[in-house]
Chain A
Amino acid sequence: MFVLLLVAVLGQAPSVAPSEPGVQSPARSEPDSAPAPAPESPPAVLPPATHELFQRIQNRVAQVRIIERRSGTRSSIGSAFFVSASGHAITNYHVVSDVVLHPEDYTAELVLRSGGEPVPARLVDVDVVHDLAVIRMDDVVKDFFALEDREPQQGTRLFAMGNPHDLGTTIVEGTYNGFIQDSLYERIHFSGAINPGMSGGPTLTGQGRVVGVNVATMGNQLGFLVPVKHASALLARALEVKPDEARTLVDTVRAQLVDNQQRLTEQLMAAPVPKQKLGSYQVPGRWIPFLKCWGDTPHDPEVPYTVTNYQCSSEEDIYLSSHHRTGVVAFLHQQASSQKLGALRFSSLYSALYAQDPDTVEASREDVTNFRCTTEFVDVEGLPVRAALCLRAYKRFPGLYDLVLRAAALNASTSGVDTSLTLGGFTADNARKLARRYLEGLSWTK
């Protein structure tokens, strides 16, 4: 999936929440609660006009600036919205990831809609799996959103707010289209224009109730939101954090990644590996619904062989930093056969396929080590394969690894199936269990 995260230059969008009939936006009772966003207009029968909505809620949204200490100026921007009287605001993890990973080099500050100097903000807690973070400024906030989780009906008109490309606070109309089906990490599909700079901004109903947090776009009115329930859960945790408690958020992130891979592993191990027929072989098919599978056989009359591709991928990942992703499951099979090539020429083709590695999970030198590989002939229940197992470790998150398994069947001289499995961000034990289950899903049916 080609999702563009909305970080690079993200503008805040203040949004005005018109009061919802019935349920008003009383601030959740906060320890040091400022007056709740009190002014409740009388319940409207029709959703208020967009400009009224904007007027009401614009002060609840702010722009987040990530300041690089040496240059003293912003290195990226995003949006955030206030959710407590004591200055808590929700944004995306990917907006503040630099502050999480390099607190010595970056700080965050909030630019309020009401004007004035930017206010320094502290990072309180993060939810890396759902791409959320809570930041807090010391000032008291008079006007903020209450978070409550009520799923709108599909087709409900929604309003996304933020500061796209730092052009100024914007409100964008769109439509609620429910949860993305079969997704690995829960996301709401918002049909409206979300653009870089709006990350971390809220998307609301016409009544000013937050539905989700802007997180990504695929362009063309395909926007994605993090469901508000994850923000509520994170906020509940964040409110318990004592103000001066020194926390290393990197450890929090690591713990969340470990939990997440454990959940994925359990899901995968609980499901039987479906057998997909590919030529005279059976290979692992769509193991679990969050994997999206595609296949094709290019037909070129000029070439004396055929290669059939079958690939599955979660098409989603977890953002750790601008050049490090994790939480990925993907595999690819290539079944080759030829009636015209001799055994040695077929071997050249087969070697060339075996030499092509799938794209590894994105990472840089400061994130991961180099791969180390081992290679053997392996007997998979009677089917001889040439297999290689490669592993690299995460430097910042000890105990997590990326694994690549490559295997090519060696039972025939002019046909074969070559397969590769990529697991991003698993513990060694889980990765081994999954890779073994995967390899054992390979068989020959003659």
Chain B
Amino acid sequence: MDEMIFLEVLEGDSVHERHRLERFPATIGRAYSNDVILDDPKVSPEHLRIERREDGALVVRDVGSHNGTWRVEPWAPLAELELAPDTRVAVGDTVLRFRRRDHAVPGTVITSAVAPRERVFEHARAFPIAMLALIFVSSLETHLGNYGRTDWGELTVAVVTPLTLTLLWAGGWAVASRISRRRFHYRTHATIGSLVLLGAVALPPLVSALGFSLGLGSGLSWLHHATFLSLMGWGLFWHLRYVARWEPARLVRVLVVVTLSFGALSRANDLLGNEPFSTSLDFPRTLLPPAFRMTRAQPVESFFEEMEGLQQQVDALAKEE
């Protein structure tokens, strides 16, 4: 062996400490008189000694320890062992590995070396634009949804609520970013938060309007659910991009699983067919001006033909119990 070797104290698969040994004999043990000190209570004060044999080979020798020394693969007690590259021995609870100076290391992991690109959320104007859009849409929806006299109190709430919610929401995420990435990214989180809330305010009416235009029936509630889940997944993805250090592909995979599980759990009753008893009528209630209708009206005859399907459905329900 070389003149110089490395002694590695392992912890699992990784190296906990690394010692360079240049002069032999070298001693290993718990006592402070050793060249390498191990803080393992099961290791004797004078435990191992590494020395050069007459033929020039380096050997490790137990110098009369209390608990003994073991070779690791296969596990066997040893008194003396000639060191080969990557030899591992166990003393007490500690595993030691010996490596030579010429140990080959694996190749460098290649990362995309492009310069960091500024995302649209990080743009200085993105936050005010997103926030203004949110406040505008929220007020517009309140205005259109109110068919009584103009209610200024309600409009104020429509402005203040999204503003407050966004700022608090961004605060939570910013703290998480600070903890894991050392930077708050507050404005970025606020922009993402505004966009998520904008989606939450604007998408349901748009989906309902689409449902009305196309004359969709009961499938509409699933469309609403899917929209909500996509929005949730999208928001979590971008918030987490500023918090976690995961690769985007991994984040997407995790979020798809999380979102789908959440979606399935929140609709577990429907999916399992455990429908609670209800006397309510379940069909979409959105009505829009006649110009929004895009599908043709059916003749009365065929509308009432659909009752046969309903009859079969409720007969099946009645038989279930």
Residue positions of A touching B, CB distance < 8 A: 302-305, 338, 341, 343-352, 354-355, 357, 360, 363-365, 369-381, 384-395, 398, 401, 404, 406, 408, 410-413, 416, 428, 431-432, 435-436, 439-440
Cβ–Cβ contact B297 & A379, under 8 A: yes
Interface core residue of B212, B289, B315 (most chain A CB under 10 Å):
B289
Chain A residues with CB under 8 A of B111: none
Q: Does B117 contact A (CB under 8 A)?
A: no
Q: Is the CB of B284 within 8 A of A377?
A: no
Interface string of B272-309 (1 = CB under 8 A from A): 00010111111111111111010111111001101111
Residues of B within 8 A of A398 (CB): 315, 318
Take A348-B146, A410-B290 as given contacts and tell me if A374 and B298 are in contact as well, using a CB distance cutoff of 8 Å. Answer: no
Which residue in B217, B275, B287, B293 is a CB contact (below 8 Å) of A350?
B287
With A378-B298, A384-B293 already in contact, the answer to whether A352 and B147 are too (CB < 8 A) is yes
Q: Is there contact, CB below 8 Å, between A370 and B300?
A: no
Q: A377-B293, A379-B299, A408-B287 are in contact. Are A390 and B147 (CB under 8 A)?
A: no
Chain B nearest CB from A137 CB (Å) reads 35
The answer to whether A373 and B310 touch (CB under 8 A), given A389-B303, A393-B318, A404-B281, is yes
Q: Which 7 A-B pairs have the closest CB atoms?
A: A349-B147, A379-B297, A369-B317, A365-B277, A393-B314, A355-B285, A413-B289
B306 — nearest CB in chain A belongs to which residue?
A: A374
Contact A373 B300 (CB under 8 A): no
Mostly, the A contact residues are mixed
Known: A348-B144, A439-B300. A389 touches B287 (CB 8 A): no
Which of B279, B282, B293 lies in contact with A373, CB distance below 8 A?
A: B282
Task: Please tell me if the beta carbons of B281 and A388 are within 8 angstroms of each other in the complex.
Answer: yes
Count A/B pairs, Cβ under 8 Å.
162
Nearest A residue (CB) for B144: A344
Q: Given A304-B149, A410-B293, are A376 and B303 neighbors across the interface (CB < 8 Å)?
A: yes
* Distance (whole angstroms) from the CB of A326 to the closest CB of chain B: 14
Does the CB pair B310–A389 fall under 8 Å?
yes
Partner of A389, one of B144, B212, B306, B318: B306
A389 neighbours in B (Cβ, 8 Å): 303-304, 306-307, 310
Q: List 8 A-B contacts (CB under 8 A).
A: A338-B147, A348-B144, A372-B317, A375-B283, A377-B295, A389-B304, A401-B311, A411-B290
Q: Which residue of A lies closest to B309 (CB)?
A: A374
Cross-interface CB contact of A378 among B217, B288, B300, B310, cutoff 8 Å: B300
| Contact present for A391 and B148 (CB under 8 Å) | no
Q: Is the CB of A343 within 8 A of B289?
A: yes
Task: Given the known inter-chain contacts A350-B287, A369-B314, A391-B310, please indicate yes or no for A375 contacting B217, CB distance below 8 A.
Answer: yes
Task: Assess whether A377 is in contact with B296, with CB atoms less than 8 Å apart.
Answer: yes
* A392 near B288: Cβ-Cβ < 8 Å: no
Extra pairs beyond A432-B304, A436-B300 (6, CB < 8 Å) = A344-B144, A373-B218, A391-B314, A392-B314, A395-B321, A416-B287
A357 to B282: give the CA distance in the assembly, Å.
11
Which residue of A is nearest B148, CB measured?
A: A303
CB <8 Å contact, B144 and A387: no
Asked whether, in the complex, the Cβ of A374 is within 8 Å of the Cβ of B310, the reply is: yes
Q: Is residue B14 within 8 Å, beta carbon to beta carbon, of the partner chain?
A: no
Assuming A304-B148, A394-B318, is B281 touching A428 (CB within 8 A)? Answer: no
Residue of A nearest to B149 (CB): A302
Tell me the smallest distance from the CB of A387 to a CB of chain B, in Å. Answer: 6
> Which residues of chain A come closer than 8 Å to B12, judged between CB atoms?
none
The answer on a CB contact under 8 Å between A386 and B300 is no
Q: Once bound together, how far apart are the Cα atoms of A6 and B304, in whole Å?
A: 40
B64 near A: Cβ within 8 Å?
A: no
B77 at the interface (CB under 8 A from A): no
**CB-nearest residue of chain B relative to A418?**
B287
Contacts known (A351-B285, A351-B287, A439-B300); A370 close to B293, Cβ less than 8 A: no
The distance from the CB of B189 to the nearest CB of chain A, in whole angstroms, is 33
Q: Are B146 and A345 in contact, CB atoms less than 8 angstroms apart?
A: yes
B123-155 with Cβ < 8 A to chain A: 143-149
Residues of B within 8 A of A304 (CB): 147-149
Asked whether B313 is an interface residue with its Cβ less than 8 Å from the other chain, the reply is yes
The answer to whether A379 touches B298 (Cβ under 8 A) is yes
Q: Are A375 and B317 in contact (CB under 8 A)?
A: no
Nearest CB of B to A273, in Å: 14
A351 to B148, Cβ gap below 8 A? no
List of B residues within 8 angstroms of A370 by Cβ: 275, 277-279, 317
Smallest CB–CB gap between A149 and chain B, Å? Answer: 39
Q: Name the B residues within 8 Å of A387 (CB-CB).
A: 303
Separation of A406 and B217 alpha carbons in the complex (Å):
14
A347-B289, A436-B304 known; A369 vs B318 contact (CB < 8 Å): yes
- Please measure, in the bound complex, the distance between the C-alpha atom of A390 and the C-alpha atom of B298, giving whole angstroms: 17
Q: For B172, what are the chain A residues with a Cβ–Cβ distance below 8 Å?
A: none
A112–chain B nearest beta-carbon distance, Å: 41
